[in-house]
Amino acid sequence: MDVRQSIHTEHAKNLDTAGLRREFLIEKIFAADNYTLTYSHIDRIIIGGVMPIQQSVTIGEEVGKQLGVSYFLERRELGVINIGGPGLIDVDGKTWEVGHQEALYVGQGAKSVVFRSSNANLPAKFYYNSAPAHTRFPDKKITLQDAVKATLGDAATSNRRTINKFIVPDVLPTCQLTMGLTRLDDGNLWNTMPCHTHERRMEVYFYFDMADDSAVFHMMGQPQETRHLLVHNEQAVISPSWSIHAGVGTQRYTFIWGMVGENQVFDDMDHVSISALR
């Protein structure tokens, strides 16, 4: 378990490039036949990936011990989006088929969650977020067709994109976790601009579907003192509630966003005009 502490704005101002990357960037999400797990003190979110190839993978009792509970989801809910080949997720004996760019919500209290790939030559890549939960809501699979869609932006400002809201109140109930997948149109580079913050919740961006020779400049920091992280394929950025979170790529890309905090209102944002950025 990689533990990341909360970072105060005054502390963040003094971090150099290496310090920013150490505190906010998750460089490795997937490992063959294993899982990764990053625990952030910011709203207690957990971020990670599972990539079963030759064998099934489970997030076992060792994680429960580190969290101070009996098992991983004893007091947590889980959202999973598969960005790889077709896979299977067994939840307390029930098997869910989760295909490419499909999602699964697992409610608080599930004792056994096992991840498998349908084809070892085309392994599944299960990206997940987990948040503390106070009650159990039903498990549910969400396809791209089930997701709430919104197309925003304009090619003239290079930010035409389609937002697929998988785990949101309009699709299913959760305690606090929301997740979705945003795909930029060809030739578009900005994931959002003008940018925003939302003091009511934090966010994690997971960038993927990127060429090896491309990168995203992820903009972060307070609006009047912006910083950036250089992000490559299948890496994630932890964004505190005080930070803007926008990015511009050298080529088109796709990203998964996950949020936890005080509310689940997607449009509850504090917008920042471009003229106010520094």
DSSP 112: -
Q: What angle do CA 136, 137, 141 make, to 5 degrees?
A: 135
How far apart are alpha carbons 113 and 104 in whole angstroms? Answer: 11
How far apart are alpha carbons 62 and 35 in whole angstroms? Answer: 12
Q: Rounded to the nearest 5°, which phi and psi values hold at 273?
A: -70, 150
How far apart are alpha carbons 111 and 60 in whole angstroms? Answer: 9
Contact 141, 220 (CB under 8 A): no
The verdict on whether residue 198 carries a ligand-binding annotation is yes
How far apart are alpha carbons 218 and 16 in whole angstroms? Answer: 15
Contact 181, 253 (CB under 8 A): no
Contacts of 184 (CB under 8 A, 6+ apart): 159, 160, 161, 191, 249, 252, 253, 254
What is the CB neighbour count within 10 angstroms for residue 113? 23
Q: Read off the tokens for 111.
A: 């004792």
Q: What is the DSSP string of 142-183?
A: E-TTTSEEEEE--GGGT--EEEEEEESTTT---SS-EEEEEE
The verdict on whether residue 245 carries a ligand-binding annotation is yes
Contact 47, 53 (CB under 8 A): no
Question: From the annotation, which residues make up the binding site?
Answer: 196, 198, 203, 245
Question: From the annotation, which residues make up the binding site for Zn(2+)?
Answer: 196, 198, 203, 245
